[in-house]
Amino acid sequence: MAETRIRSTIEGPVAILTLDRPEKLNALDQDMIGAIEDWAEATERNKSIRVAIITGNGEKAFSAGGDIAAWAGLDPISFMRDWIRTGHRVFDRLARLRQPLIAALNGHAFGGGLELAATADIIILEEHGRMGLPETGLAMVPGWSGTQRLVRRFGPRLVKRMTLTGEMFSAADALAKGMVDQIVPKGQSLGEALRIAEKIAARGPVAVQVAKQLVNAAEGEEQATALEAIAGALVAYTDDLKEGAASFREKRPALYEDR
């Protein structure tokens, strides 16, 4: 079912995921979340992909958030396990994608839609779009890292304003407050994202990926993973590793040179 609500395309070195449920303002359900996870895994494995983009179909909203019909009837345990934990895992996966991720917001980003947008490294918002976390108005709290990743990226005071009062920010406000990197006219977010993606794809791919990991680590996004991945890559190029592997294969003591 999700195939009809999620579209995946590739343009050269750029992978594009489109939320395609405009009649429901691209609200997310379990099947869509699962499809997003599959897309992230496929994008990660594809060595020809250097940049990824997430966007939405329609003229009004990137995503209005989680589909109330998808979670309102869940019992507490299922809600925690199948909705909150799954969403967290998938959004963490997007935020830690090895390729730079650009969010081309074709309209409003509310609740889970804003949490999804916040997984991106660069956020472009069309001028008619608004941003907000309306969950407490439904006696709910943000559940897909709205009180965690959004605090790291937007700051605690701003997130408190959105969560405690339900305040919505216009595109101009979002730009002024550092929530987005760029505002574009209606209908131009994807085109601008592709233009930026082309610039990124022309740069050294390994350097770009390592730079992203380093910034993520500084932000607290994946510090342990980044440190071990970079350290492992460094050691992999040494003669020590070659000797260690050779000694294992040949069943003899390793003879390491002094360094």
- Owning domain of residue 237: 205-250
Given 201, 221, 240, the domain boundary residue is 201
- Is residue 135 part of the annotated active site? The answer reads yes
| Predicted pLDDT of residue 221 | 73
Reading the block at residue 212, the tokens are 């992203």
pTM: 0.89
CATH code at 15? Answer: 3.90.226.10
Taking the CA atoms of 228, 230, 231 and 234 in sequence, report the sign of the dihedral they define: positive
In angstroms, the CA 2 to CA 111 distance is 20
* Local confidence band at 2 (pLDDT 50, 70, 90 cut-offs): low
Active-site entry in 126, 135, 192, 221:
135
119 and 243 in a single domain? The answer is no
- The pLDDT assigned to 141 comes to 84
The C-alpha atoms of residue 185 and residue 129 are separated, in whole angstroms, by 10
DSSP bridge partners of 55: 18, 104
Grouping H, G, I as helix, E, B as strand and the rest as coil, residue 221 is: coil
Residues 156-202: tens digit of each pLDDT:
999 999 999 999 999 999 999 999 999 999 999 999 999 999 999 99
Amino acid type, 56: G
- Indicate if the alpha-carbon torsion angle 88, 89, 94, 96 is positive or negative: positive
11 belongs to the catalytic site? no
pLDDT category at 227 given cuts 50, 70, 90 is: confident
pLDDT digits (tens, 9 = 90+) for 70-112: 767 767 787 777 777 888 899 999 999 999 999 999 999 999 9
pLDDT recorded at residue 130: 97
What CA–CA distance (Å, rounded) separates 50 from 205? 7
Based on the fold, state whether residues 135 and 12 are members of the same structural domain: yes
- Asked whether residue 128 carries a pLDDT value surpassing 50, the answer given is yes
How confident is the model over 102-112, as pLDDT tens digits?
Answer: 999 999 999 99
Active-site residue (options: 11, 23, 59, 115): 115
9 pLDDT higher than 50: yes
Point out which residues pair with 124 in neighbouring strands: 104, 182
Residues 232 and 191 in one domain: no
pLDDT of 218: 86
On whether both 181 and 225 belong to a single domain, the answer is no
Does some domain include residue 94? yes
pLDDT, mean of residues 192-218: 94
Is 54 part of a structural domain of the chain? yes
Q: Are residues 144 and 210 in the same domain?
A: no
Q: Is residue 92 in a domain?
A: yes
